[in-house]
Amino acid sequence: MNRRPRRNRKSQVIREMVEETRLSTKDFIFPLFLIEGSRQRSEVASMPGIYRNSLDLMLKEIEECLHLGIKAFDIFPAYPDSKKDKFATESYNPDTFYLKAIREVKARFPEAVVMTDVAMDPYSSDGHDGLVENGKILNDETLEILGKMALAQAQAGADILGPSDMMDGRVGHIRQILDRNGFKDVSIMSYTAKYASAFYGPFRDALDSAPKMGDKKTYQMDPANYKEALIEAELDTLEGADFLMVKPALAYLDVIRLLKDHSNLPIAAYNVSGEYAMIKAAGEKGWIDPQRAMLESLLSIKRAGASVILSYFAKEYAEIVKK
């Protein structure tokens, strides 16, 4: 035999020399959950090792991550029901704890990249990403609320805004508002292909943001659809997105590759809470090696074409490679 592919697998050094895909701490954005108060810390029951932190403890977490090489953070707020209403008005209250936290993180760690979430569900008494009227999610009326929210986050110092709502036209609406108000350098990472997935459950537990009625299938994408992602990608690109995101990641590796092959924009993928929880739960049962499964999963997302990976494994990965 003239060709023996196993020769390039015969030692660790040679395998590393010819490996086609390499992960780096530079690839990651670490999602963090913020709660009001001080010295407050509670573990998310369905996400072992992931916590809701008050700002003082989150600052310590961010500092540790920066030392490990994780430099980008997507901060999600967990609001009590008492601060939620139909119109998500707390989202653009300049004195709300979320916006204050963004200011403090950027003041303390100017080198860190802060990404924020633009959607109504953390602030909505209905638990939906858009405005609910007579059981329907109103698209254009929601854009007005998202615009106020996005501007407030940019004013607080956010580097990247992440519209996760899946309303039609929201990227263009937000881009126009940002530009009109002098925030031309604030980036938009659009949740371009966000599917109506079963893998979001633990995240909704973390924020207590599940819909109070119905589901999100009238605005999030159908898991059966593939080419539809190209329509969303084209619209988001034309409207001014700087990154295109696929969410979830592992069940949609084909969609990551599709967008990678058809777009010149960086492709991001969100390795979501349910994907994290599956590996952790199976690892606790002793059914799999959780560290190897984590590394293999993250590598598959990168191999599929993601330039940026949002993952709850980010810090754990950084701690492994730091050793």
Give the burial string for 79-111 (b: 16+ CB within 10 Å, else e). beeebbeebbbbbbeeebbbbebbebbbeebee
Higher pLDDT, 210 or 60: 60
Predicted confidence (pLDDT) per residue in 143-157, tens digit: 999 999 999 999 999
Q: How far apart are the first and last CA of the chain?
A: 41
Residue 203 tokens read as: 């995240």
Res 158 pLDDT > 80 = yes
Count other C-beta atoms under 10 Å from residue 124's C-beta.
Answer: 26
Cis peptide before 122 (omega within 30 of 0): no
What is the percent of the chain where pLDDT is above 90?
92
Tell me how far CA of residue 310 lies from CA of 239, 268, 274, in angstroms.
23, 7, 13
The pLDDT, as a whole number, for residue 209 is: 67
Predicted confidence (pLDDT) per residue in 198-237, tens digit: 999 888 777 776 777 778 899 999 999 999 999 999 999 9
Could you give the domains of the chain? 20-322 (3.20.20.70)
The pLDDT, as a whole number, for residue 202 is: 87
- Is 194 a catalytic site residue? yes
The pLDDT, as a whole number, for residue 116 is: 98
Res 35 pLDDT > 90 = yes
Catalytic member of 83, 84, 194, 302: 194
Predicted confidence (pLDDT) per residue in 77-124, tens digit: 999 999 999 999 999 999 999 999 999 999 999 999 999 999 999 999
Mean pLDDT of 18-41: 96
Res 12 pLDDT > 70 = yes
What is the percent of the chain where pLDDT is above 70?
100
Res 76 pLDDT > 80 = yes
Task: Give Cβ neighbours of residue 285 (< 8 Å, ≥ 6 apart).
Answer: none
Predicted confidence (pLDDT) per residue in 123-138, tens digit: 999 889 999 999 899 9
Mean pLDDT of 50-75: 97
In whole numbers, what is the pLDDT of the chain averaged over residues?
95
Q: Which residues fall in the annotated binding site for Mg(2+)?
A: 232
Res 320 pLDDT > 70 = yes
Contact 35, 316 (CB under 8 A): no
The pLDDT, as a whole number, for residue 287 is: 98
Catalytic member of 216, 247, 280, 315: 247
The pLDDT, as a whole number, for residue 215 is: 85
